[in-house]
Amino acid sequence: MAFSAAGNSGRPLADINVTPLVDVMLVLLIIFIVTTPMVAMPIAVDLPQHTNKIIDRPEPPPPIEVRVDAGNQLYWNGQPLARADVQSRLAEQAQIHAGNVPELRSAASPDAQYEVMAQVLAAANNAHMERIAFVQ
């Protein structure tokens, strides 16, 4: 509320300033005018159609479990394995199960060296293993 100087006999002015209200309304009007044509345009959506065709999904091969113990010994599904043989075994599995590569589940002891696990992961990458899980 504003008070006038000495000329209005000390009565308060009760006028509302409508300029900000008009500005906001004009901005909203412009926004609605601009966005309305975009909302009215149809958007082409290709939805999947129902079909009775049976999709043949092969059973996934059993996962490969590679474990590194505290002594940096590798185990392939519970059987000891030399570090030099990891790459060839992974490549062999990828070739046997072409297109349906098994999941590699790797576990490492907290006391194992990082280098051994890094070599296993590099071998898995070179063998194009698509699914790698870290388990305890």
Q: Along the chain (136 residues), what's the average pLDDT of each consecutive run of 10 residues?
A: 57 80 94 83 86 84 91 91 89 83 90 90 89 89
Q: What is the pLDDT of residue 5?
A: 54
Q: What is the pLDDT of residue 58?
A: 80
- 0.85 exceeded by pTM: no
Q: What is the pLDDT of residue 80?
A: 92
Q: Is 39 within a domain?
A: no
Q: Check which CATH number belongs to the domain holding 117 and give it.
A: 3.30.420
Q: Is 49 within a domain?
A: no
Q: What is the pLDDT of residue 54?
A: 87
Count how many domains the chain has: 1
Q: Is 29 within a domain?
A: no
> 123: Cβ–Cβ under 8 A, 6 or more apart, which residues?
86, 87, 90
Q: Is 34 within a domain?
A: no
Q: Is 26 within a domain?
A: no
Q: Is 73 within a domain?
A: yes
Which residues span the domain enclosing 75?
64-134
Q: Please check whether residue 117 is in contact with residue 108, taking contact to mean a CB–CB distance below 8 angstroms.
A: yes
Structure tokens at 121: 């992961």
Q: Please check whether residue 62 is in contact with residue 102, taking contact to mean a CB–CB distance below 8 angstroms.
A: yes
Q: Is 100 within a domain?
A: yes
Q: What is the pLDDT of residue 31?
A: 92
Q: Is 71 within a domain?
A: yes
Q: What is the pLDDT of residue 41?
A: 76
- The whole-angstrom separation of Cα 120 and Cα 61 is 20
Q: What is the pLDDT of residue 7?
A: 57
For residue 133, the number of C-alpha atoms closer than 13 Å in the C-beta half-sphere is: 9
Q: Please check whether residue 99 is in contact with residue 62, taking contact to mean a CB–CB distance below 8 angstroms.
A: no
